[in-house]
């Protein structure tokens, strides 16, 4: 139940408002003067306060400055501009003059309480988001490398400097960008991400800056670009190393001039955005090769952040695994699962070329594929499980095994005179691989495609190309089983 405080030295006003608010289902408390009002505000939390502008002890205007998170409606018998302006300057939600219409007061109270609820929801959401992108939220790790990264995030968040985040694919560069944004003074503004490599080159300029109606064929209406959408917030440019050189010049101009124009437009539009960029490429090398502008690089690289690969984050793998187990339990709607110490040991020893993203997918797949309430070593993907055996010296690396088999195949036959050896060998490898996985999954193509790391449609296409049925068995010859009848004369 919403709680309302009514502070007025007139008993009749307190009585009328109390009855009206209680009739609407609110819980009401009363204060006869400014001193009582201050004491109640200190000790209780209210959804709305009605406050008389002139009361014994302390005025409503003075009390206003001490109420920070509750809407206050000031009541006054003097309908003057000075009272209205002063009340609003000091943070009042609104003001009403005596005598007042009780129905109008009811409507105003409902609006004020709804605004209070909304502001609390927004505050909670901000708190949740800020926590999500802090250490222990979505960004997991206690290694020395991650501790240094947290310190750097804290330092750069307080400024509006451009940041260049560098790191291998799958290290979580966008998470770092979001952490900087949600801990900055722009956190109430939007966070807009755009991937330069995911958009056709001829659409990139329009995507960034928008376009006017008729700017080019197909521009049937005005489009707002990402720079406008990100107004007051942060624009995250991912894969900046893949940006075409001509667009780089226009991005540089926006950074320098703090304005831009839509495609087909001639009106400068202010650009109030913070720019954070990311890449997995060596931009210094790209500059030497003429694929990236050095002046743009220096503008973007004001604060460089290098995200460490997972193999350099000693001790973080178990923490990440526990995080993913908790998260996917709800997302996948599966029973709670733990992980065997032997499996954790294998995950710790793996080199993780795909970094955190590969570990995330590995845990997700293991949760789906593992029976029982614990992930065992055999429930891990072949690549991860196999590397552990190779390191332990129990099996030869796959490339050595294939090398020996191919050497035998080539030496025993007249293969060097063949044409199309690549396709021949690849098909011979693919057939037993698909058949084996489908056999292990009892013909479940969804599970099989997850184990193989390919799309289910890709798996179906492969089976068709290799003339195999849905369970991986060879299809019979097309004419097999057809009756051949002799023509009778």
Which class does domain 140-308 fall in? alpha beta
Question: Does domain 311-391 bear CATH number 1.10.287.610?
Answer: no
In the prediction, which pLDDT does 478 show? 64
In the prediction, which pLDDT does 387 show? 61
Comparing C-alpha atoms, which of 179, 171, 178 is closest to residue 193? 178
Cα separation, 168 vs 138, in Å, equals 18
In the prediction, which pLDDT does 435 show? 87
In the prediction, which pLDDT does 56 show? 87
In the prediction, which pLDDT does 485 show? 44
Q: How many CB atoms lie within 10 A of CB 314?
A: 11
In the prediction, which pLDDT does 43 show? 73
Which stretches in the chain have pLDDT values below 50? 136, 395-398, 480-489
pTM score, whole prediction: 0.60
Cα separation, 210 vs 451, in Å, equals 42
pLDDT tens-digit profile of 171-206?
999 999 999 998 898 988 899 999 988 888 888 999
Comparing C-alpha atoms, which of 355, 356, 349, 360 is closest to residue 384? 349
In the prediction, which pLDDT does 131 show? 59
In the prediction, which pLDDT does 124 show? 66
Q: Using alpha carbons only, what angle is made at residue 366 by residues 385 and 358, rounded to the nearest 5 degrees?
A: 70
In the prediction, which pLDDT does 404 show? 67
For 414-465, the fitting CATH number among 3.40.47.10, 3.40.190.10, 1.10.10.60, 3.40.640.10 is 1.10.10.60
Domains 140-308 and 311-391 share a fold: no
In the prediction, which pLDDT does 400 show? 56
- Could you please state the CATH topology (level 3) that the domain comprising 3-126 is classified under: Rossmann fold (3.40.50)
Answer yes or no: are the C-beta atoms of 49 and 41 closer than 8 Å.
yes
Residue-range domain boundaries for the chain: 3-126, 140-308, 311-391, 414-465
In the prediction, which pLDDT does 487 show? 44
In the prediction, which pLDDT does 302 show? 95
In the prediction, which pLDDT does 120 show? 77
């Amino acid at each position: 139940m919403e709680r309302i405080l009514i502070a007025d030295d007139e008993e009749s006003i307190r009585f009328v408002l109390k009855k009206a608010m209680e009739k609407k289902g609110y819980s009401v408390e009363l204060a006869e003067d400014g001193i009582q009002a201050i004491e109640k505000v200190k000790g209780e939390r209210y959804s709305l306060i009605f406050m008389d502008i002139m009361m014994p002890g302390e005025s409503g205007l003075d009390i206003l400055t001490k109420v920070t998170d509750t809407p206050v409606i000031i009541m006054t018998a003097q309908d003057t501009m000075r009272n209205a302006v002063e009340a609003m300057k000091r943070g009042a939600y609104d003001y009403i003059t005596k005598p007042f219409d009780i129905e109008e007061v009811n409507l105003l109270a409902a609006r004020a309480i709804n605004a209070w609820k909304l502001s609390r929801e927004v505050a909670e959401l901000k708190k949740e988001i800020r926590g999500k992108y802090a250490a222990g939220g979505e960004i997991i790790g206690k290694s020395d490398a991650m501790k240094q990264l947290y310190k750097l995030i804290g330092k750069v968040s307080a400024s509006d400097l451009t940041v260049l985040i560098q790191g291998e694919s799958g290290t979580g560069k966008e998470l770092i960008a979001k952490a900087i944004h949600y801990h900055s003074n722009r956190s109430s503004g939007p966070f807009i991400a755009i991937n330069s490599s995911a958009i056709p080159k001829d659409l990139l300029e329009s995507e960034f800056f928008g376009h006017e109606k008729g700017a080019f064929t197909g521009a049937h209406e005005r489009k707002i670009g990402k720079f406008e959408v990100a107004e007051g917030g942060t624009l995250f440019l991912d894969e900046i190393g893949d940006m075409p050189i001509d667009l780089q010049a226009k991005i540089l101009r926006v950074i320098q001039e703090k304005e831009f124009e839509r495609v087909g437009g001639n009106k400068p539009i202010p650009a109030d955005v913070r720019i954070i960029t990311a890449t997995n490429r060596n931009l210094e090398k790209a500059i030497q090769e003429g694929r990236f502008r050095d002046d743009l690089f220096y503008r973007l690289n004001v604060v460089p952040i290098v995200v460490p690969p997972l193999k350099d984050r000693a001790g973080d793998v178990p923490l990440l695994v526990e995080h993913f187990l908790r998260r996917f339990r709800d997302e996948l709607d599966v029973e709670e699962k733990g992980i065997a110490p032997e499996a954790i040991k294998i995950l710790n020893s793996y080199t993780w070329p795909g970094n955190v993203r590969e570990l995330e997918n590995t845990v997700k797949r293991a949760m789906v594929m593992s029976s029982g309430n614990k992930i065992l070593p055999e429930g891990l993907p072949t690549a991860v499980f196999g590397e552990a055996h190779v390191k332990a010296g129990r099996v030869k690396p796959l490339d050595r095994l294939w090398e020996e088999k191919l050497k035998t195949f080539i030496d025993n036959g007249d293969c060097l005179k063949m044409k199309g050896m690549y396709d021949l060998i690849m098909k011979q490898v693919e057939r037993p691989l698909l058949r084996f996985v489908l056999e292990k999954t009892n013909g479940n193509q969804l599970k099989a495609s997850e184990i193989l790391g390919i799309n289910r449609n890709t798996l179906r296409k492969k089976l068709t190309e290799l003339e195999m049925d849905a369970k991986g068995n060879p299809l019979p010859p097309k004419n097999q089983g057809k009756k051949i009848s002799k023509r009778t004369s």
